[in-house]
Structure 1
């Protein structure tokens, strides 16, 4: 998408469904605004555009350049108000805040009893849904009203509100502490990646332990438990300790299954928990584990009770296709996996504006790997090139392993006119990485060795490198490098002169 297309108002309008556009126009008409109102004309013009073009707006004299910024801001606000009124966007949090707003208006009019009645009902709902931040705001407003509205029961009410306020503040403190820890660990994973040595490991463990040592799981409610499990998942992901990643991802998902009403309140976190669980089960090669839990996940997200909006649908799309492709990889069923790619690409285009570039590139890498497994090396290189040519901020590991997969495809296909140049470019890239390991350079050196060698010399090189990879596979800090692309399986297949699919099936049996 071009920079011009990223105009916030334009993107918002393009995200609207037909029914949402219809509702916006009905909302505007209810306001009694002239049909020629400038912001409505601007809406119609932007709706017709395929790409954002400010010059057309100015040429049609919808607005002057000086006034356009304010007009766009006003239209943006009106669209958001219209969307807020749309029943499809209503959720518990919005409804609770609406009740809090109503009570505030009644309080300002001096209708204290009516305000307190609404607040008491809303507070109970907020506590039932574990929405403690909103419950805390409700209690604070109750305190304000009670301090001005004198009743005989003020003593009892005061003690009740003080007790509720103290308990909620304590729980909010836990939630803040755990959410800060989770966010920091997630940020660490995105910015620096997985640990690469003992020093990294010690730093993560010290940071984690210092932030969680005073937290007692037994004292936590739903929201704090959710952050507690998230923090443990992200910590163990960083440490590449997948046994414990599965444990806490499972507890994260089961927390929702034990509190089914919370899935509606936190649909995104339900999807994310399942995503981490499926990914880690894939690392363990657990076909039955994935299929069993994936079936339950699908039944829940397809139910009428689940919140279906653009955000949740985009996340379900990612989870569904990543998991389906992972199952094809585990089974070594590459040829059937490639049959799904046309359907996947159509869905990718549909969700492009809702998902960040990184997740799209991961899907491209999986598509490239699927083509490699089915011996379609030309398409492997084609989709790998999409990742390399990406202009976004792409993770180094993703770029490096894309290059390795492409080298494997170039070697296998025999279409290797640019093979030497590509090896040199890959080595140059490895040297520029923030924390390259010896294994990174060893892999590139191997590809440099095997080109232009006779079959006997290549066989020797494959044998030697297979032994090196076997040693690396025992190194806990090299594990991740060998998980991205199964170069170890490919090299082993060459040493034993069998199809790589046979190696994959052997590994699954062993796991």
Structure 2
């Protein structure tokens, strides 16, 4: 992903669609501002730039260097106000907060009954949407009005507000505890990765059990259940316990299907839940269920009622593209899979500023693996090098397995001019990893020796490494290492003297029968 410009205003203007720019200009004209107003001139100039260049603004006397900072801040604010008014950016949270703002204005004007009427209606909507934070703010304002003025709205009003406040406070406590736990587990996954041994496992369980023991699942509402399932998904991913990851990812998605209106309220978490569910179904290799869930996901996110914005488009694209390629991987459809790549790359370019580097590299690795499966080894190496040469923050495991894929491609293509140098570089990389595993060094040693062996000896080397990979597959702490690329399937194809596609098809047939 190209590095974003450091100037936030420039990035914001470049993110605007044609209709959003048109609305901004209409909004400015509605304010009765002179068309030559400096902030509008600044907007036009920045819109024309391909790269941010402050000196051009100064040279054209749009602003002095001393005034530019304030002018940019003013323009930034006006653009955000314009975007807030745009119907495409309206959502229920903005609408609820708008009603709360209206009630505050009426309260300040002394129109207490009108304010309470708006607050009561908005509170019911907030509770239906499980927006307890907003509901809590509404109740606080109701308390202020009721405690200061004799509104005589209804009998027992004080007791009603007290009970509502207590109930929401308890639910907010659950939400806070579960969201903190989920965030902690997610942080563990990003910083330390998956558990590598029993000590790591105990640390994760200690974090999880210390928090979850205070939670009573039967008393949870939608939002708390959502955080509850998230925490379990991330815990089981850390533990590499895919059976329970699948269970809670499925419950996460089903939570939305049981209450469809929440898909509109929380579209990001609906997409994320499906991302984890589709990913774990791919790891299981159950193609029938994977394709069925993928169809449900597509029908939902591409329906007219599903919210649309740049953030959601990027998330949908990632889930859709990764799953589509995963389905081709499971079926061993490498040749048809490579035909998807040009369109995926084109969309990647359009969403380049909306997707982080790591997710780009995952897509590139899948493309490289797809080309490898279709025997286009030079293309596979070309896409692999996009990852190796990336200057972004890419996970070590992904980088290592990319190197293994390059070694596989070099072996198959016979393009081994720099084979030994690449082996040395890969060994050096592995030694610098934060938590290198036995699997990493065993793989490097295998490829190091492979190129110097005659045919008969190579066959024995493949058979010996096949037995080692069998052991790794049965080891819960190493199992995930074999999921990045199907190195074991490739080794098995060499042992059995068949195409790697035949190995994959056997696995798919087994999963279907099972």
CA distance in 1, matches of 2:486, 2:291: 22
Which aligned pairs between 1:211-222 and structure 2 lie closer than 5 A?
211-222=211-222
| Alignment partner, residue 387 of structure 1 | 387
- State the alpha-carbon separation in 2 of the partners of residues 398 and 80 from structure 1: 38
The 1:383/1:3 distance shift into structure 2, 3 A limit, reads closer
Q: Distance in 1 between matches of 2:151 and 2:472?
A: 75
Runs of 5+ consecutive residues of structure 2 not aligned to the other structure:
none
Offset, 1:69: 1.6
Q: Deviations over 1:24-50 (max 9, x none)?
A: 000011111111111111111111111
> Contact 2:233/2:245 (CA < 8 Å) preserved in 1?
yes
Question: Corresponding residue for 1:136?
Answer: 136
Partner of residue 346, structure 1? 346
Counterpart in 2 of 1:464?
464
Q: Secondary structure at the match of 1:130?
A: coil
Mapped to 2, the partners of 1:140 and 1:72 lie a distance apart of 36
Give the drift of 1:153. 5.5
Residue 4 of structure 1 deviates from its aligned partner by 6.9
The whole-number CA distance in structure 1 between the counterparts of 2:392 and 2:65 is 31
Question: What's 2:281 paired with?
Answer: 281
Contact 1:369–1:380 at 8 Å: present in 2 too?
yes
**Contact map agreement 1:473 1:482 (CA 8 A) in 2:** yes
Deviation digits for residues 143-175 of structure 1 (CA, Å, limit 9, x no counterpart): 000011113457611000000000001000000
Three-state SS of the structure 1 residue aligned to 2:352 is helix
| 1:404 paired residue number | 404
Counterparts in 2 of 1:9 and 1:272: CA distance versus 1, 3 Å: same
Q: Is the 8 Å Cα contact of residues 334 and 371 (structure 2) preserved in structure 1?
A: yes
Match of 1:103 in 2: 103
- What is the Cα-based RMSD across aligned positions, in Å? 1.1
Alignment of structure 1 residues 159-238 onto 2, 5 Å = 159-238=159-238
Q: For the residues of structure 2 that align with 1:286 and 1:154, how far apart are their CA atoms?
A: 58
- Residues in 2 aligned to 1:4 and 1:89: alpha-carbon distance in whole angstroms: 23
Instruction: Find out whether 1:82 has 2:82 as its counterpart.
Output: yes
Are residue 239 (structure 1) and residue 239 (structure 2) matched? yes
Give the 3-state SS of the residue equivalent to 1:186 in structure 2.
Answer: helix
User: How far apart are residue 5 of structure 1 and its match?
Assistant: 2.3
Match of 2:498 in 1: 498
Distance in 1, Cα, partners of 2:395 & 2:470 = 26
Name the SS of the counterpart of 2:148 in structure 1.
coil
Q: Shift of the alpha carbon at 1:508?
A: 2.3
Deviations 1:244-271 (A, max 9, x none): 1111011000100011111111000001
SS at match of 1:83: helix
- Match of 1:475, SS state, is coil
Counterpart of 2:357 in structure 1 is 357
CA contact 2:174–2:215 (8 Å) conserved in 1: yes
Alpha-carbon distance change, 379 to 54 in structure 1, aligned in 2, over 3 angstroms: same
Residue 71 of structure 1 deviates from its aligned partner by 1.3
Contact preservation (8 Å) 2:113, 2:151: no
Match of 1:474?
Answer: 474
Q: 1:303-452 alignment to 2 at 5 Å? A: 303-452=303-452
Aligned 8 A contact 1:4 1:52 in 2: no
- Report the Cα offset of residue 452 of structure 1: 2.5
Q: For residue 269 of structure 2, what is the aligned residue in structure 1?
A: 269
Conserved in 2, the CA contact under 8 Å of 1:171 and 1:220?
yes
What CA distance in whole angstroms lies between the structure 1 residues aligned with 2:410 and 2:37? 60
Residue pair 1:126, 1:134 contacting (<8 A) in 2 also? yes
The 8 Å contact of residues 4 and 11 in structure 2, kept in 1 or not, is answered as no
Which consecutive segments of 4 or more residues in structure 1 shift more than 3 A? 1-4, 151-155
Other-structure match for 2:508: 508
User: Distance between the aligned counterparts of 2:470 and 2:242, measured in 1?
Assistant: 20
8 Å Cα contact 1:423-1:447 kept in structure 2:
yes
SS where residue 110 of structure 1 aligns?
coil
- Does 86-95 or 151-160 show the bigger shift? 151-160
Q: Give the number of equivalent residue pairs.
A: 511
Alpha carbons 2:112, 2:151 under 8 Å: kept: no
CA positional deviation for 1:510: 3.0
1:436-464 alpha-carbon deviations (Å, 9 max, x no partner): 11111000110001013211221121111
Aligned equivalents of 1:131, 1:44: Cα separation in 2: 39
Tell me, yes or no, if the aligned pair for 2:2 and 2:352 is still in contact at 8 Å. Answer: no
Give the gaps of 5 or more residues in structure 1.
none
User: Hey, what's the Cα distance between the residues in 2 that align with 1:151 and 1:4?
Assistant: 54
Aligned to 1:28: 28
Check the 8 A contact 1:314/1:355 in 2, yes or no: yes
Does the aligned pair in 2 maintain the 1:4–1:53 contact within 8 Å? no
When residues 4 and 504 of structure 1 are mapped into structure 2, their CA distance, relative to the original with a 3 A threshold, is closer
TM-score, normalisation: structure 2 = 0.98
Cα distance in 2 for residues equivalent to 1:351 and 1:2: 11
Q: Distance in 2 between matches of 1:94 and 1:188?
A: 33
